[in-house]
Structures are given as structure tokens and as C-alpha cells.
């Protein structure tokens, strides 16, 4: 997990393009996790040729919303939790069991 600065460009065809500078965390070589408007994103990013701590992304790149109504403060804890899990653990505990726990049910 490496903290980075992400410059996210919206609608690159618009004149002038709109952008947002976000605090993000690099996971892997070309993915980052960040929060924008309360949504937790995992998104494809590209390293800046000028500064290795800056990355860029746009709404044309691949991304997925992981959660809603969150703040950036949760990201380090999530990455630490997920790094200690296997894919099966993640599916069973975070995808299957979480909705059941909200209903008071268990596996």
C-alpha cells in the first residue's frame, strides 16, 4: 500500500476538461483505491512521467465502486484487512456473510 496523489480527469473531450485531485492508495502497479463523493473506488491508474508520486485516471478507464457512504479514513484499514485474506475468505466473509449479518443471520 503506497499513498499517492491521483488526478482524476472527467470527460476529457469537454472544453476545458474537469479534474479532481484526490488522496489515493496504490495497490499493485496500476490500480488505486480512493474516495470521491462518498464512494470507495478501485480504479485503473497511470504513473505520471513527471513525478512518481502522481498518478492519473479518467472516467474512460476501468473502475469499480466498492462501497458507498464512506470516508478516505477507512482505506488503510480495509487494505490491511484485505491483504491478510485469501480470495475465498473475502468472498465468504465480505460478500456472502456481510448481508446476512445485517439481517441477524449467520452462515
For residue 22, give the H/E element and its range. strand 18-27
- Region of 3 (left: φ > 0; alpha: ψ -120 to 50; beta: rest) is beta
Question: Strand pairing partners for 7?
Answer: 21, 56
Share of the chain above pLDDT 90, in %: 39
pTM, two decimals, is 0.76
Share of the chain above pLDDT 70, in %: 95
Cα dihedral sign for 30, 35, 39, 40? positive
CA distance from start to end of the chain: 31
Provide mean pLDDT across the span 86-104.
81
Percent composition of the chain: helix, strand, coil (DSSP 3-state, to 5): 25, 40, 35
Amino acid at each position: 500500500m503506497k499513498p499517492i496523489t491521483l488526478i482524476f480527469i472527467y470527460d476529457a473531450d469537454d472544453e476545458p476538461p474537469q479534474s479532481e485531485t484526490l488522496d489515493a492508495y496504490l495497490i499493485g502497479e496500476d490500480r488505486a483505491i480512493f474516495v470521491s463523493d462518498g464512494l470507495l473506488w478501485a480504479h485503473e491508474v497511470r504513473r505520471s512521467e513527471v513525478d512518481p508520486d502522481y498518478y492519473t485516471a479518467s472516467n474512460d478507464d476501468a473502475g469499480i465502486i466498492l462501497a458507498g457512504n464512506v470516508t478516505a479514513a477507512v482505506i488503510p484499514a480495509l487494505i490491511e484487512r484485505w491483504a491478510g485474506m485469501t480470495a475465498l475468505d473475502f468472498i465468504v466473509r465480505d460478500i456472502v456473510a456481510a448481508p446476512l449479518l445485517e439481517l441477524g443471520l449467520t452462515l
